Amino acid sequence: MGHGNYSFSSRSVRASSLGYHTKSRDDIFTQRTIHKEMDPNGVTLRESRDSEEHPNSFPFVLGLDETGSMGTIPHDLVRDGLPHIMQKIIDKGIPDPQILFLGIGDHLCDYHPLQIGQFESSDELLDKWLTSLYLEGHGGGNRGESYLLAWFFAGRYTETDNMDKRGKKGMLITIGDEAVHNKLSANDQKRLMGGGEYSSLTAVECLESARKKYEVYHLHMLEGQEGRQKYVKDCWKELMGDNCIYIESRSRVPDIIADLVVKVAGNGVVNTPIHESRKKAKVEEML
């Protein structure tokens, strides 16, 4: 995966034709159950690989909370947040980002607490996976959500050329407003992923697995009442320290995401002739 480039002009035309700036969340996110291509059951691997188009692929996993309180974030991203992120990343000299969208719910009570896309680079495919998310809108009122599923999946079910060829970590960001559940049982893993042998994991174990391949951050939203609870903030402080970033307004999310990606990816960028030709094409596209 990861073929194609991000065209801002094509994305703008498509956004207008599909009404991304005017339609409601429910009119854009039309899945009423999990999309069959995003069902994790039976998935063995998601890959971010180099190609002639993208010789220095940079893997970026973005885990979006799809419970009731957080469904506004995917809507913001599809309206204008995602193009803003891509524009800022590419303008900063990182030409080969490949984004994998995950939908995250509550594995203790939701029907579909984990949804997975593919690592993609093109504007059309990124929009496809983002708008294919099923915003289940539940969560259990049980003092937590399953952000550890993003770490579990990224650590155990992804491979990247950025790590395998260059020994460099990618980026993993989750966004939410609750604490994280502390345990992922073997039975829950089997229910989500399908056949195989599993053993119970803690949130710390899932996080450490992901950190072998990714710089891991969490954006903790403080807009709602739950996000401001002391036990919630203490949970994230203990688990992630400075890698948990507290956000007062969701309008800041795109800039913070882009800045984090640039911070992590910027050290490994190589300005090859392919990259320079892409910059030229981008200038011509804007004229």
pLDDT for the residue 10: 97
Domain assignment present for 133: yes
Is 64 contained in some domain?
yes
Q: How high is the pLDDT of residue 45?
A: 98
Judge whether residue 49 has pLDDT over 50: yes
Q: Is residue 279 scored above 50 in pLDDT?
A: no
Task: Give the pLDDT of residue 268.
Answer: 46
More reliable by pLDDT, 278 or 2: 2
pTM for the whole thing?
0.92
Is there a domain that residue 1 lies in?
no
Give the pLDDT of residue 68.
85
The whole-number average pLDDT for the span 93-100 is 96
Residue 74 banded pLDDT, cuts 50, 70, 90: very high
- Asked if residue 23 is part of any domain, the answer here is yes
pLDDT of residue 2: 66
d(CA 126, CA 124): 6
Q: Retrieve residue 1's tokens.
A: 């995966």
Q: Say if residue 160's pLDDT is above 80.
A: yes
Does residue 3 fall inside a structural domain?
A: no
Contact 171, 260 (CB under 8 A): yes
Give Cα separations from 274 to 10, 92, 120, 271 (angstroms): 21, 16, 18, 8
Asked if residue 179 is part of any domain, the answer here is yes
Token pair, residue 284, equals 């011509």
| Average pLDDT of the chain, as a whole number | 92
CB 57 within 8 A of CB 68: no
Mean pLDDT across 142-159: 96
| Predicted local confidence at residue 6, as pLDDT | 96
Give how many domains the chain has, as a whole number: 1
Strand partners, 276: none
Residue with tokens 């995250």: 104
Q: What is the CATH number of the domain that holds 264?
A: 3.40.50.410
Structural domain containing residue 45:
8-286
Task: Kindly report, residue by residue over 242-277, the tens digit of the pLDDT.
Answer: 999 999 999 999 999 999 999 999 864 444 333 443
Please report whether residue 49 resides in a domain.
Answer: yes
